Amino acid sequence: MSHVEGTAFDAIELEVLWQSLIATVNEQAKALQRAAFSPIVREAGDLANAVFDRRGRMVAQAVTGTPGHINSLARAASAILDEYPPDSLVEGDVLITNDPYKTAGQLLDVTVLYPVFREGRVIAFFGSTIHHTDVGGYGIGAGARDVFEEGLWIPICRLMVAGERNRDVWKFILSNVRQPDHMSGDLHAQMASGEVGAQRLRTLCARHGLVDIEALADVIIERSEAATRASIATLPAGTYRASALLDLVDGSRIDIVCAITVDPDIGEIIVDYTGSSGASPFGINVVLNYTHAYTTFTVRSVLNPELPNNHGSLAPIKVIAPVGSIVNAVSPQPCTARHVVGMFLPNALLKALAQIRPDQSMAEGSGAVWTMQVSGNHDDGSPFITAMFTYAGGVGARATKPGLSACAYPTGIAAVPVEVVEASAPIRFLRKELRAGSGGAGAQVGGRGQTIEFTVDTNRPWQLNAVASRLVVAPEGVFGGGPGAAGSFTVNGIPVQTQSRITLQPGDLVRLELPGGGGYGAPVVETAVVG
């Protein structure tokens, strides 16, 4: 029987073990960021790291990373282990996939699962998902017509076999990307971070007499689930409905409709997206894993953010989404820019949750980060391609605080510094500043968006893959708060009206004005005192 020496964990030992697990996955994440080639990983933290038990249940996650990645990874591990059960692996095996419908929803996000062996047996797994610079195909934009145009699909397979490269798999991967050295470097960074976690976990098990982490995982997951169900039990029973409208660059509009049903008797919440828009012909469709990720993140942010995020705390929150819709994409629907809709989901969810817990909710914000990817040729003809760089608008105001400005809620991604972007390609920034007056009025004002201008110093035409949103329909206020300002995306002062990649000329100026967040509560009107 796998267990700690003795029959149970006492409170002190359990806390020591838990803090050690958190420290281990945090060290795993830091190792990955230090070793990564892609600026979006190294500088912006577009990643997820977690430790799983033999059953593929997420036990603990690193504090850095994005909800879309981490909560998708929580579901991806079990799908990977369905094909490669723990006892089918040998020491030195490493598993990989970027199957968007089983992992994080886009081919650029590659998941690596690193088995931890102790005394010849798998005792756990360290998983990581990161955004790679390039996997061939279309790139980060929304213009591909199906998933097969979007890049190389890596099925669930062994990246390493008994400590040696799976030569044919590496050949296929590196032959299909524009920057094989970056791809190879980032894959090695993922494996290295898994080895860091494995070394620390083996030391932890030896120190505390653990055969594996199954018994520890049971306690952590059971306690997390019980605490989450207890939190739900304090809510009033009922179904709370809301919707939010998202407009896109080409003029199309997406309706997100949700119904949140609270059952306090069993401590469960069901979120139903029936009534939301159907699939888009553009690559903005969201796979169920990613929908589930941002749904559970938003509900837990309002309900019980202090609890650990793991298999147990996620279990009481169920998601229903019509198959083939904008929030439950199926192959071959394109999905590279799924973050546009996925990161927008909280705007609808928070409206519904405001009916249950108004003091913990907030007004609509800008939603998804705006993503840019520039490619072209240097004056000598050699190619360049930037990793994705992102910008955030304003966050909606809260009950007791104004909205955050230029903040990437609901994702945890940071902006890649201007200097790093300029070093990766001949991009030159002319302006980057907060956008005055873009936050909605209210008792608490919405966060401000930002204004960015850049050009590319080249004598040749260049390409821009850009994904922007909320250009017409402004973020709404709540409880009487005013709307934030809608966004603007222009080239040489002319609005861009396509979601596809565009070709620009030397000297062309790109200007981004990101939306501001909505206000919370009616503005306080000061009256003059006459005396």
Q: What is the pLDDT of residue 6?
A: 46
Same domain, 36 and 182: yes
Helix (H) or strand (E) holding 320: strand 317-320
What percent of the chain clears pLDDT 70, i.e. is strictly above it?
98
How confident is residue 529, by pLDDT bands cut at 50, 70 and 90? low
Between CA 156 and CA 37 the distance in angstroms is 23
Is-cis flag, bond preceding 85, omega within 30? no
Give pLDDT tens digits for 60-119: 999 888 999 999 999 999 999 999 999 999 999 999 999 999 999 999 999 999 999 999
Which has more pLDDT, 520 or 424? 520
The answer as to whether 331 is a domain residue is: no
Neighbours of 136 (CB within 10 A): 16
The answer as to whether 519 is a domain residue is: yes
Which range (151-155, 397-401, 525-529) has the least confidence? Answer: 525-529
Closest CA to 198 of 122, 130, 129, 131: 122
245 SS3 class: strand
Q: Where are the beta strands (DSSP E) in 132-190?
A: 157-161, 164-165
Q: What is the pLDDT of residue 333?
A: 97
In this predicted structure, the answer to whether residue 18 has a pLDDT above a threshold of 90 is: yes
The answer as to whether 65 is a domain residue is: yes
Phi/psi of residue 302, nearest 5 degrees: -85, -35
In this predicted structure, the answer to whether residue 7 has a pLDDT above a threshold of 70 is: no
Q: Output DSSP code: residue 250.
A: T
In this predicted structure, the answer to whether residue 525 has a pLDDT above a threshold of 80 is: no
Helix (H) or strand (E) holding 376: strand 370-377
In this predicted structure, the answer to whether residue 531 has a pLDDT above a threshold of 60 is: no
* DSSP letter string, 419-479: HHHHHHSSEEEEEEEE-TT-SPPSSBPPPP-EEEEEEE--SS-EEEEEE-B-SSSPPP-BT
The answer as to whether 404 is a domain residue is: yes
Last residue of a domain, one of 177, 194, 224: 224
Exposure of 301 in the CB half-sphere (CA atoms within 13 A): 20
In this predicted structure, the answer to whether residue 248 has a pLDDT above a threshold of 60 is: yes
Last residue of a domain, one of 172, 193, 224: 224
In this predicted structure, the answer to whether residue 231 has a pLDDT above a threshold of 90 is: yes
Closest CA to 37 of 160, 166, 134: 134
Helix (H) or strand (E) holding 388: none
The answer as to whether 329 is a domain residue is: no
In this predicted structure, the answer to whether residue 387 has a pLDDT above a threshold of 80 is: no
In this predicted structure, the answer to whether residue 120 has a pLDDT above a threshold of 80 is: yes
Phi/psi of residue 269, nearest 5 degrees: -125, 135
How confident is residue 193, by pLDDT bands cut at 50, 70 and 90? very high
Domain residues for the domain of 125 are 11-224
Residues in the chain: 531
Between CA 481 and CA 17 the distance in angstroms is 46
How confident is residue 8, by pLDDT bands cut at 50, 70 and 90? confident
| 432 Cβ contact partners less than 8 Å away, ≥ 6 residues apart | 418, 450, 451, 452, 453
Query: How many angstroms separate the Cα of 481 from the Cα of each of 313, 409, 435, 445, 523?
Result: 33, 19, 19, 8, 7
In this predicted structure, the answer to whether residue 3 has a pLDDT above a threshold of 70 is: no
Same domain, 377 and 523: yes
How confident is residue 524, by pLDDT bands cut at 50, 70 and 90? confident
Overall number of domains in the chain: 2
Which pairs from 106-109 meet CB under 8 Å and 24+ separation?
106/150, 106/335, 106/336, 106/337, 106/338, 106/339, 107/135, 107/137, 107/147, 107/150, 107/151, 107/152, 107/153, 107/336, 108/132, 108/134, 108/135, 108/140, 108/151, 108/336, 108/388, 109/69, 109/72
Task: Answer whether 278's CB lies under 8 Å from 289's CB.
Answer: no
Q: Which residues pair with 325 in a beta bridge?
A: 278
Structure pTM? 0.94
The answer as to whether 457 is a domain residue is: yes
Give pLDDT tens digits for 463-496: 999 999 999 999 999 999 999 999 999 999 999 9
Burial of residue 1 (number of CB atoms within 10 Å: 0-12, 13-18, 19+): exposed
In this predicted structure, the answer to whether residue 379 has a pLDDT above a threshold of 60 is: yes
Task: Answer whether 370's CB lies under 8 Å from 469's CB.
Answer: yes
Encoding tokens for residue 235?
Answer: 């809510």
The answer as to whether 38 is a domain residue is: yes
What is the average per-residue pLDDT within 178-194? Answer: 96
How confident is residue 413, by pLDDT bands cut at 50, 70 and 90? confident
Q: Which residues pair with 96 in a beta bridge?
A: 112, 157
Give pLDDT tens digits for 431-450: 999 999 999 999 999 999 99
Give pLDDT tens digits for 137-170: 998 889 999 999 999 999 999 999 999 999 999 9
How confident is residue 411, by pLDDT bands cut at 50, 70 and 90? very high
Encoding tokens for residue 370?
Answer: 């705006």
Q: What is the pLDDT of residue 4?
A: 47
Q: What is the pLDDT of residue 133?
A: 86
Encoding tokens for residue 338?
Answer: 């799924």
Between CA 397 and CA 388 the distance in angstroms is 28
Average pLDDT, the chain: 95
Q: Which amino acid is at 424?
A: S
Q: What is the pLDDT of residue 414?
A: 87
Q: What is the pLDDT of residue 140?
A: 87
Between CA 499 and CA 410 the distance in angstroms is 22
In this predicted structure, the answer to whether residue 57 has a pLDDT above a threshold of 70 is: yes
Query: How many angstroms separate the Cα of 511 from the Cα of each of 135, 142, 431, 487, 488?
Result: 28, 19, 9, 11, 8
Q: What is the pLDDT of residue 104?
A: 96
Q: Output DSSP code: residue 248.
A: B
Answer positive or negative: Cα dihedral of 158, 162, 163, 169: negative
The answer as to whether 256 is a domain residue is: no
Last residue of a domain, one of 202, 224, 246: 224
Q: What is the pLDDT of residue 5?
A: 47
Q: What is the pLDDT of residue 384?
A: 87
Q: 431-466 burial, b for 16+ CB within 10 Å, e for fewer? A: eeebbeebbbbbbbbbbbbbbbbbbbebeeebbbbb
| 508 Cβ contact partners less than 8 Å away, ≥ 6 residues apart | 455, 456, 491, 492
How confident is residue 176, by pLDDT bands cut at 50, 70 and 90? very high
What is the average per-residue pLDDT within 222-244? Answer: 97
